[in-house]
Structure 1
Amino acid sequence: MSKAGEPLLRHEPRRTEKTSERIARRILRDIGERRLAPGTFLESEAVMAEAFGVGRASVREALRILEINGLVTIKTGPGGGPVVATPSTSDYGQMTTLHLQAMGTTYRELLQARVNVESLLAGLAAARPGPEAGRLVTAALEAGQLNSQSDDTTYANSHSEFHAAVSQAAGDPVLALSANAFRHIWSVRVTAVLFPPDQRPSIAAAHDTVARAIVAHDRREAEWLMRQHMEFYQQYCELRYPARLDDIVDWG
Structure 2
Amino acid sequence: MLDVAERGEVPSFVRGKRALRVAQAIVHDIEADARQIGDRLPPEHDMLARYEVARATLREALRFLELQGVLHLQPGRGGGPVVARPQIGDFTSSLALVLHFVGTDLRALIELREALAPQAASHAARRATAADLMALASCFAELEQQVGSTLFEETNRRFHDLLAWASGNPLFGLLTSALHLLTRDLSRQLGYSEHERENQVRRLARVVHAVRLRDAVTARREMERLVEGSAVYLGQRSPDLMDQKVRWTQAFEA
Aligning the two structures, in what range does the TM-score lie when normalised by the shorter sequence? Answer: 0.7 to 0.9
State whether residues 74 and 81 of structure 2, in contact with CA within 8 Å, keep that contact through their aligned partners in structure 1.
yes
Matched AA of 2:103? G
Task: Output the CA distance in 1 between the equivalents of 2:145 and 2:77.
Answer: 47
- Please give the root-mean-square deviation of Cα atoms over the aligned residues, in Å: 2.6
Q: Aligned to 1:83, what secondary structure does the other structure show?
A: strand
Is 1:136 the equivalent of 2:135?
A: no
Q: Counterpart amino acid of 1:45?
A: E
- Assess, with a 3 A threshold, how the Cα gap between structure 1 residues 191 and 90 changes in structure 2: closer, same or farther: farther
Q: How does 1:40-79 map to 2 (within 5 A)?
A: 40-79=39-78
Instruction: Kindly state the Cα deviation for residue 83 of structure 1 after the two structures are TM-superposed.
Output: 2.1
The question of whether the paired residues in 2 share the 8 Å contact of 1:117 and 1:175 is answered with: yes
| Counterpart in the other structure of 1:152 | 150
Q: Which runs of structure 2 are paired with 1:1-252 in the superposition (5 Å)?
A: 18-128=17-127, 132-133=128-129, 135-146=131-142, 148-149=144-145, 152-153=150-151, 155-188=152-185, 190-191=187-188, 194-196=191-193, 199-252=196-249
CA contact (8 A) 1:90 1:181 kept: yes
| Alignment: residue pair count | 233
Matched residue SS, 2:81: strand
SS in 2 for 1:152: coil
CA–CA separation in structure 1 for the residues paired with 2:79 and 2:101: 35
Change in 2 beyond 3 A, CA 1:116/1:218: same
Distance 1:178 1:232, change over 3 A: same
Q: Identity over aligned residues, as a percent?
A: 27
Does the CA contact (< 8 Å) of 2:92 and 2:182 recur in 1?
yes
CA-CA distance at 1:53 after TM superposition: 1.0
**In 1, are the aligned partners of 2:70 and 2:83 still within 8 Å (CA)?**
yes
TM normalised by structure 2 equals 0.80
Deviations 1:150-183 (A, max 9, x none): 6634x44432222122112212122322222222
Unmatched 5+ stretches in structure 1: 1-15
Q: Separation in 2 of the partners of 1:181 and 1:20?
A: 28
Deviation at 1:230, TM superposition (A): 1.4
Partner SS state of residue 188, structure 2: coil
Given that 1:123 and 1:223 are in contact with CA atoms closer than 8 Å, whether structure 2 keeps it comes out as yes
Change (3 A) 1:192 1:160: farther
Q: 2:190, 2:237 within 8 Å by CA — same for their partners in 1?
A: no
Question: SS of the residue aligned with 1:171?
Answer: coil
**Aligned residue identity for 1:205:** R
User: 2:85 is paired with a residue of what secondary structure?
Assistant: coil
State the SS of the aligned residue for 1:18: helix
Give the TM-score, by structure 1 length.
0.80
